[in-house]
Chain A
Amino acid sequence: MVWLPRKVTYVFPRMGYSYAAFESFFQILGYDVITPEPSNSQTLKRGVSNSPEGMCFPFKILLGQFLKVLEENPDKYFKIVSLESYGPCRFGYYSPLYAKILKDRGFDNFEIVNVEGIYPPWYRGIPRFFKKLIKLIGWHTPWTGVKAFLIAGWKVYAIEQLERKLYYLIPREKIVGSAEKAFNRAFERIHHAPNKVKAIKEVLNEELKRMDSVKHVENVELPKVGLVGEAYMLMDYSNNLEIEKKLAYMGVDVDRSLWVTNWTLDRIIKTKEHLNHMLEVNKGYLDFFIGGDGQESIMNTILYKQKGFDGVIQVLPFGCLPETVAKQILSNVSEDYDIPVLSLSFDEQTGEAGFITRIEAFVDMIKDRKAAKVGKKKSTTVASQ
């Protein structure tokens, strides 16, 4: 019998709009790829019923998405991509648990591939890193690999530019919904753009101009709200119930602290600088590395205050270890720096109505505070709209 390499299909964790970039990454390498659908009641149900009860919410979401893909395509052989680290956060043990749970459910048409950072002891860490990298991208010419990373990076960057523009435009647009319409079109064009840097640049510039031409008012003072919290929940719109869009439609200038680009830069390229910066800003609040995004949450809250923001919302999955720590310490930060902080913890039972009420109340409070500072005594309410 002739040994033939198996035809593999890649599945990766879907996170926000960045899935478009990951899709092209694997397409450039010449693989089939299936993007899981955004999390909905079906995937959540699968995920929750198969994962340990106390496990973190992102684990359940992703397990549900993978399970749905595996169930729907029993005839394909999958490589499930999972990023991984070795740190205090439970994220570091996701992929072994996925492997064990999926095997226990009776699936055998998959293997988990992951890329993890180099962790000590280094003489084992470095060979392991390269072994896993090769397992992920397969044997290709170095140029193909570099190109895949480059294109994916550019697409991520382009999508982020569009998203930033969207959240800038929504509270300022004259016709409700026009900015979102322009964004959806722009996103689809980037998604299906040819895999060349030049082409992506062109499409991005064109679409940014087109979005700028959406009728909107400039020069308005809007209350500013910063979003901090756990990276996955923050970046994936289907799990945080589109909190950014909702805030933007309430007439708030919303800024998210973590994006794929700055997350990657801080964590992988400028690690040391980033850690020192965090310890400096957080001095007296959290003097130790606790993994996850807990330290970032505290740091960004302080930085937001210094940049003149009016409020901060912390988005965390229920039971997240580092974020829970940050939640307790944020109450002190909020007092000392005089900035309102709202912690929203998400789990599988989060209902949309209660969620909207809470952020509406928060936005009302911020608007009142802002008005009181300026000297106007008029109080505005959003809830009546």
Chain B
Amino acid sequence: MKIGVPRGLYFYVYYPMWYGFFKSLGHDVVLSVPTNKDILNLGVSNAVDDICISVKVYHGHVKYLLDKRNVDYVFVPRVVSEDKYRYTCPKLAAMPDLIKSAFNKDSERILSVNMYMNQGKKPLLDAFGKIGEKLGASVKSVKKAVKEAMGYQEKAVKCLRKGHNFAEIVKNIRNLDKLFDEPVKERRYNVALAGFPYDIYDGYMNGDVIKHLEEANVRVVITDMLNPKLYKHYTKYMIKDLFWHQANVAAKGGMYYMDSKDIDGVITVSSFNCGIGAIYEKLLDLYSKETNKPLMHIVVDEQTGDAGLVTRIEAFIDLIRVKRGDGLVAS
């Protein structure tokens, strides 16, 4: 069977796991194409107008896969929590319901299940067991598949911790070991990106921030590369932990990068009307006053023009260069 995986939201966190699971059961994984104008338009016309752009784009990816006749199921999981007592945003927690409401006719082709991540093997076995049942796999093969899936995810996390970003992981999903052995390129400047993985890695939406920075001899580090143990102590500054796991990663990771000496500046990437983005951006704003690190917010929406973003990124790079004493880019 062919299982469609939309290239949006938690794809940018748990793709290796899902890939490993479906592959082990002998199904093909069909990815939607990277976000482009058509996908964005599909999403904008199908989702409710108040919702954040990332969710709209996700609608577009789902629609793209549903329109493909040879895709048997589209995998739309409900990622409930990503750590003990750390959950996801209400929009994401209601994702299958939103998708079913938007594409009422195709609701039978949508494969959804409640997933509890990073809390041991049992919840994953339960969740994947349900999918396996629907796909007609035996209990034994599901167990084996879950083991393999977790292996893939562990390898991906190892690569992330080493400094490879998730886009590379998606590209090299077939041989993650090789990617792990590859050295990470050192560059003159280091800039950290803080935000949700699905905003940072979606190059079409954010005007290719990563590419533009790398062209200017900047090494890009991203908050999901950090080990959560490194930034545990920032809870004290935040008074209490945020309810949403990814927001915690973005806020605390951003603060960690602001405190570390070899990082030249921090950029947050969030989507318009994200809601939760407003909170961690404000926290980082206040924290940057204490550390004096350059900080820039990029908020993307469906009207974002590429040129404006590029200008802002260039200005930010100039700022970093001046701070280091390298002078402006000769133009």
Chain A interface residues toward B at CB < 8 A: 51-56, 86-90, 92-93, 96-97, 99-101, 104, 119-121, 285-292, 294, 316, 318-322, 324-325, 327-329, 331-332, 345
A325 with B85: CB separation less than 8 A: no
Chain A residues within 8 Å of B47, by CB: 328
A288 with B243: CB separation less than 8 A: no
Which of B4-12, B154-162, B182-190, B274-282 is near enough to bind chain A?
B274-282
Chain B residues within 8 Å of A51, by CB: 282
Chain B interface residues toward A at CB < 8 A: 47-48, 50-51, 78, 80, 85, 87-91, 93-94, 97-98, 101-102, 104, 114, 238-240, 242-244, 270, 272-279, 281-283, 285-286, 289, 299
B78 with A321: CB separation less than 8 A: no
Chain A residue nearest in CB terms to B47? A328
With known contacts A54-B273, A120-B85, A288-B114, A93–B279 Cβ distance under 8 A: yes
B98 with A88: CB separation less than 8 A: no
A53 with B278: CB separation less than 8 A: yes
B104 with A332: CB separation less than 8 A: yes
CA distance A96 to B282 in the complex (A): 11
Chain A residues within 8 Å of B282, by CB: 51-52, 55, 97, 100-101
Nearest Cβ on chain B to A128's Cβ, whole angstroms: 10
A54-B299, A286-B94 are known contacts; what are 8 more A-B pairs with Cβ within 8 Å?
Answer: A54-B278, A55-B282, A88-B90, A89-B90, A100-B286, A294-B90, A319-B50, A324-B51
B94 with A319: CB separation less than 8 A: no
A96 with B98: CB separation less than 8 A: no
B281 with A52: CB separation less than 8 A: yes
B48 with A327: CB separation less than 8 A: yes
CA distance A100 to B284 in the complex (A): 11
A56 with B94: CB separation less than 8 A: no
Chain B residues within 8 Å of A319, by CB: 50, 273, 275
Nearest Cβ on chain B to A121's Cβ, whole angstroms: 7
Nearest Cβ on chain A to B106's Cβ, whole angstroms: 14
Chain A residue nearest in CB terms to B97? A286
Nearest Cβ on chain B to A89's Cβ, whole angstroms: 7
Chain A residues within 8 Å of B281, by CB: 52, 54
With known contacts A52-B278, A327-B50, A285–B101 Cβ distance under 8 A: yes
CB contact between A93 and one of B78, B242, B286, B299 (< 8 Å): that residue: B242
Chain A residues within 8 Å of B89, by CB: 88, 321
Can you name 16 A-B pairs with beta carbons within 8 Å? A51-B282, A53-B278, A88-B87, A88-B93, A93-B243, A121-B85, A288-B94, A292-B90, A318-B50, A321-B90, A321-B91, A325-B94, A329-B97, A329-B101, A332-B101, A332-B104
Q: Is the interface of B mostly helix, strand, loop or mixed?
A: mixed
CA distance A319 to B48 in the complex (A): 11
Chain A residue nearest in CB terms to B78? A288
A325 with B91: CB separation less than 8 A: yes
A52 with B279: CB separation less than 8 A: yes
A329 with B275: CB separation less than 8 A: no
B97 with A324: CB separation less than 8 A: no
CB contact between A328 and one of B51, B90, B276, B277 (< 8 Å): that residue: B51
B243 with A97: CB separation less than 8 A: no
B93 with A90: CB separation less than 8 A: no
Chain A residues within 8 Å of B78, by CB: 288
Chain B residues within 8 Å of A325, by CB: 51, 90-91, 94, 97-98
With known contacts A287-B97, A324-B51, A55–B90 Cβ distance under 8 A: no
Nearest Cβ on chain B to A295's Cβ, whole angstroms: 9
CA distance A52 to B101 in the complex (A): 31
Listed residue (A51, A100, A294, A321) with the most chain B CB atoms within 10 angstroms of its CB: A321
Chain B residues within 8 Å of A104, by CB: 286, 289
CA distance A54 to B297 in the complex (A): 12
Nearest Cβ on chain B to A30's Cβ, whole angstroms: 29
A96 with B240: CB separation less than 8 A: yes
Listed residue (B80, B85, B94, B243) with the most chain A CB atoms within 10 angstroms of its CB: B94
Chain A residue nearest in CB terms to B102? A328
Chain A residues within 8 Å of B278, by CB: 52-55
Listed residue (A287, A289, A322, A325) with the most chain B CB atoms within 10 angstroms of its CB: A325
Chain B residue nearest in CB terms to A287? B97
CA distance A86 to B248 in the complex (A): 14
CA distance A290 to B275 in the complex (A): 14
Chain B residues within 8 Å of A324, by CB: 48, 50-51, 91
B90 with A290: CB separation less than 8 A: yes
Chain A residues within 8 Å of B283, by CB: 100
Nearest Cβ on chain A to B176's Cβ, whole angstroms: 32
Nearest Cβ on chain A to B290's Cβ, whole angstroms: 11
With known contacts A322-B90, A329-B98, A96–B243 Cβ distance under 8 A: no
CA distance A287 to B95 in the complex (A): 10
Chain B residues within 8 Å of A87, by CB: 243
With known contacts A319-B50, A321-B90, A328–B98 Cβ distance under 8 A: yes
CA distance A332 to B46 in the complex (A): 13
Listed residue (B47, B87, B93, B273) with the most chain A CB atoms within 10 angstroms of its CB: B93
B275 with A90: CB separation less than 8 A: yes
CA distance A285 to B94 in the complex (A): 10
Chain B residues within 8 Å of A54, by CB: 270, 272-275, 277-278, 281, 299
Chain A residues within 8 Å of B85, by CB: 119-121
Chain A residues within 8 Å of B244, by CB: 88
CB contact between A285 and one of B97, B240, B289, B299 (< 8 Å): that residue: B97
Chain A residues within 8 Å of B276, by CB: 90, 321
Chain A residues within 8 Å of B275, by CB: 54-56, 90, 319-321
Nearest Cβ on chain A to B279's Cβ, whole angstroms: 6
Listed residue (B91, B104, B272, B273) with the most chain A CB atoms within 10 angstroms of its CB: B91
Nearest Cβ on chain A to B172's Cβ, whole angstroms: 34
Nearest Cβ on chain A to B301's Cβ, whole angstroms: 11
CB contact between B238 and one of A86, A89, A96 (< 8 Å): that residue: A96
CA distance A51 to B90 in the complex (A): 22
Chain A residues within 8 Å of B51, by CB: 324-325, 328
CA distance A345 to B276 in the complex (A): 18
Chain B residues within 8 Å of A291, by CB: 90
